[in-house]
Chains A and B, each alone.
Chain A
Amino acid sequence: MEMRTVYMDHAATTPLDPRVLQVMLPYLKEEYGNPSALYERGRAAKDALVDSRETVGKLLGAHADEIIFTASGTESDNLAILGAARAHEAKGKHVITSAVEHHAVLGCVEQLAKEGWRTTVLPVDEYGRVKPEDLAAALAEDTTVVSIMLANNEIGTVLPLREYAKVIRDWKKAHNRGPLEAPFLHTDACQAAGALSLDVAKLGVDLLTVNGGKIYGPKGVGVLYVRRGIKLRPIVFGGGQEMRLRSGTENVAGIVGFAKAFELAQADREAEGNRLAALRDMLIGGIQARIPKVVLNGHPAERLPNNVNVSILDVEGEAVLLYLDAVGISAATGSACDSASLDPSHVILAIGRPYEFAHASIRFTLGRSSTEADVAYVLDQLPPIVEKLRAISPVKMQLDGTIVGNASAFVSDGRPHWERNVILNEVKNHSSVGTGPTKNLQDPSLRSG
């Protein structure tokens, strides 16, 4: 019998839409010209680039010349943060971000800290949102870049970006700074691209990142929106492509595919969003009804329509994933055991949960292929798996985070390494940079997505 397969890891990546592949194919075959060349083949490629830039610009409510194509969402984040911070360092060397960002953003901030920048990592509330007043308090004369994501990849919470934009606008007004002067607001919108409006004017952002691999487009293509007139310093040098901001021969097929994928995703956004939100709520409700001791991670309402993230207490996430995989279901976890660095999810820790909750977190992310039957299948398969693993587990946690029993497991054996690091830092007081938590910043993790 064919085993049923249910892919519920769309936040990690999405399959390529066949319609997208169709428009890409000519540029992988006959239209192989270099867009910088002046002969016919080159011009065809150039035209395709111009059209794609136009399309993407329109979808963002931006001008075509505000669109920079890069090779990934990570590269776009790097160009935005490093590029803006370095170009405006005469104004000051302070950048602000949040504790729930993707490693692509946190890694940049960590790098700037090493290069002597002052960095602030803002805490978040229990749902993963930065409080606007915390941002207001962190802004200073030397702040040049604020990077806060639009929607979180792990727990699905949508952050009130317009409020952050207003805080920055008000601050600039009070300090006599024009719109083209620092501080600038960057947002990583990779997870939001298929679900929310990305109108840059409405969002009030200066820089915005999107990529192809999350919207049924090709992997290896990213976009950075850069508001007209804002200076960035490139991070890649060479032939001066992409308005001198991103050298390297353009990935024409990828860019054409990205534009098509983005167009399809945005056209479908509301209908698909409603469909997925209904499935999402069915899955969350079903899990909570069938499995005791489950907490929802992320905001109950202000969340991406495709994201379900629950901590199923007393079971370890990697073990759950292996059992799910055995019945054909693909999902993700924030457990330390499943990450290359053996660190638990920094996002689940940032929303104030103990690390056991991160270990026990399972993320299901729905997508175009998801059906009601898929949700029903997961709801059938998951409870017995949890029951089995709970029987194996010596840990008995309460929903409020208190542990029954094994509190002494670590006493003579040292604490888990991420806790040890924090303790060490506190004791030595050697964290000279950053006003927020800086742990877990430099370990790239497998669970990115």
Chain B
Amino acid sequence: MSDDIRNERTGERWVYSPTVRDHFFHPRNLLLDEPTEGSFDASGVVGSPACGDVMHVWLKIDKATERVSDMKWKTFGCGSAIAATSMFSVMVSENGGMPLADAVQLRPQDVMKRLGGLPNRKIHCSVLVDKAFRKAANDWFRATGQVERIQVDGARVVDPATGVTDKDIEEAVLEGAVTLEDVQKKLKAGVGASEEVRTEVEQLIRFYKEKYYG
């Protein structure tokens, strides 16, 4: 079994860190049986547009304090998805539970930091749990009548000529695109053909690059 292996010269990490391996081989807060009606307060399921995997999370939320008292999950995903979800579940439920308002602010980077890093092409796996969690939070807000707190990242068309949205660009970046050309290739569309659209597309690429890799 190899531990974290780094290229001395480039510092590139190509095998998962010991923490990642620990959470992968001993996942915390797994839901092993099917949940029974009413045993959780909220749930969310998403699929990963990058790799096609599926993530399901369930939450128990303290009604009085609105802290996350428990988070359980299942995933059809790779080692990174399993480790990131396991770590995420620890982070939101440790120390008596994180206030939901704070938990929805957790960023994929926070999870990665605790994991000791993930390879670049695996960053979308930690975004997956993040999205599933926010969906479950929305589920809770809906159930408790707090509709104004529901957050949906709506897609906005940025390039009318191709119908490409900001979400398409976000996903392309998560799949590894770093330049306008990469994005065009990933989306198989000549996005950003006109001058003004191109500037906006390039800005979005920079924004998402910074958000996830910066």
B53 pairs with A359, CB closer than 8 A: yes
Q: Name the one of B25, B80, B167 contacting A414, with C-beta atoms under 8 angstroms.
A: B167
Instruction: Determine if B5 is an interface residue (Cβ-Cβ < 8 Å).
Output: no
In the assembled complex, how far is the CB of residue A390 from the closest CB belonging to chain B, in whole angstroms? Answer: 10
A424 pairs with B189, CB closer than 8 A: yes
Instruction: Determine if A410 is an interface residue (Cβ-Cβ < 8 Å).
Output: yes
B54 pairs with A394, CB closer than 8 A: yes
- Tell me the complex Cα distance, A413–B82, Å: 20
Given contacts A392-B75, A414-B167, A416-B52, contact A421 B187 (CB under 8 A): yes
Q: Name the one of B51, B185, B187 contacting A336, with C-beta atoms under 8 angstroms.
A: B51
Give residues 1-54 of B contacting A (CB, 8 Å).
1, 16, 24-25, 27, 30, 32, 45-54
Find chain B residues with CB under 8 A from A395 CB.
Answer: 54, 76
B78 pairs with A406, CB closer than 8 A: no
A406 pairs with B56, CB closer than 8 A: yes
In the assembled complex, how far is the CB of residue A359 from the closest CB belonging to chain B, in whole angstroms? Answer: 7
B131 pairs with A322, CB closer than 8 A: no
B79 pairs with A319, CB closer than 8 A: yes
Find chain B residues with CB under 8 A from A420 CB.
Answer: 49, 168
Chain A, interface SS category: helix
Chain B, interface SS category: mixed
In the assembled complex, how far is the CB of residue B72 from the closest CB belonging to chain A, in whole angstroms? Answer: 11
In the assembled complex, how far is the CB of residue B7 from the closest CB belonging to chain A, in whole angstroms? Answer: 17
In the assembled complex, how far is the CB of residue A121 from the closest CB belonging to chain B, in whole angstroms? Answer: 16
B188 pairs with A342, CB closer than 8 A: no
What's the A-B contact tally at a CB cutoff of 8 Å? 117
**Among B47, B168, B171: residue with most chain A CB under 10 A:** B47
Binary CB contact string for chain A from 341 to 361 against chain B (1 if under 8 A, 0 otherwise): 110100000000001100100
Instruction: Determine if A29 is an interface residue (Cβ-Cβ < 8 Å).
Output: no
Instruction: Determine if A28 is an interface residue (Cβ-Cβ < 8 Å).
Output: no
- Tell me the complex Cα distance, A424–B74, Å: 31
Find chain A residues with CB under 8 A from B99 CB.
Answer: none
B50 pairs with A417, CB closer than 8 A: yes
A392 pairs with B52, CB closer than 8 A: no
In the assembled complex, how far is the CB of residue A396 from the closest CB belonging to chain B, in whole angstroms? Answer: 9
Which A residues have a C-beta under 8 Å from some C-beta of B?
3, 314-316, 318-319, 322-323, 325-326, 335-338, 340-342, 344, 355-356, 359, 391-395, 406, 408-410, 412-418, 420-421, 424-425, 428, 442
